[in-house]
Amino acid sequence: METLSTARSFEGIQGVYRHRSEACQCDMTFAVFLPPQAKDGPVPLLWYLSGLTCTHQNVMDKGEYRRAAAEHGVAIICPDTSPRGENVPDEKDNWQFGSGAGFYLDATQAPWSTNYRMASYIGEELPALVTANFPVDMQRQGIFGHSMGGHGAITQALKHKGRFKSVSAFAPIARPMVAGWSRPAFEKYLGPDEAEWRAYDSVALIEDGARVAELLVDQGKADGFLDDGLRPWLLEDACAKAGIPLTLNMRDGYDHSYFFISTFMADHIAWHAKRVKG
């Protein structure tokens, strides 16, 4: 693992790191914020998964998470959204597929299956690397994310039963199997058999028996992707039928941007901290 940069912030350390990923068969970059409490021993951690077109950098620059993380004594891990590099296949004119659009799944179709294995990277490889190199307590972890990353956070929590003590999302893609901006990507990554897609769809996973203890979602009512891409009411209905407590906050006037995310970031971190520390 290579350290690309470190900076002091709110008495903690914001770092950016790079390593060779076996899952993705390329170099991967991620960010870690360690709160000041990490100097005294392992701290709880939250995984933040970013959305389409993003890297770890977007939330570092715009997410405004460090003050709240330092106050609550939790580390924040920000992975990239997809594999990258000259030898990684891509569709450069398609922002909804390829680089920046890994959808947190393990592709099964060539040529994508060699590199696009973000489910394994987030679920197995990166946690092992983080555990080996940072003072974090993997028994006290939560996960959250935005848009495609909200989809990734919820599906990771549903697929890894009991691993995460908390899960939340900002404007998640609730039903990517049928959403306009994710369905084409699923077909390219996973092939035409929609039964294979269900493992990466929050609503389908809940329908198929996966559960989390509770769920927090914030969604802007002025989000331009609300009706076609996000549709939180589908997640609300699935949670109601499954008996999963869901807090769905529909926020007047807020869109899909980091202005929205940063407004409610501290609320989410406080919500997670209560659960991962409790």
Q: What percent of the chain has pLDDT over 90?
A: 99
**Annotation says 256 is catalytic:** yes
Q: Annotated catalytic residue: which of 202, 223, 268, 272?
A: 223
Going from N- to C-terminal start, the domains of the chain cover 2-277
Per-residue pLDDT, 209: 97
**Annotation says 223 is catalytic:** yes
Q: Annotated catalytic residue: which of 151, 256, 268, 272?
A: 256
Per-residue pLDDT, 62: 97
2-277: CATH superfamily = Alpha/Beta hydrolase fold, catalytic domain (3.40.50.1820)
Angle, CA 210 vertex, CA 207 and CA 216 arms, to 5° = 95
Give residue 149's pLDDT band: very low, low, confident or very high (50, 70, 90). very high
| Interval 70-112: pLDDT, tens | 999 999 999 999 999 999 999 999 999 999 999 999 999 999 9
Per-residue pLDDT, 278: 81
Within 10 Å of residue 197's Cβ, how many Cβ atoms? 21
**Annotation says 147 is catalytic:** yes
Nearest to 205 by CA among 238, 166, 246: 238
Q: Annotated catalytic residue: which of 147, 166, 168, 202?
A: 147
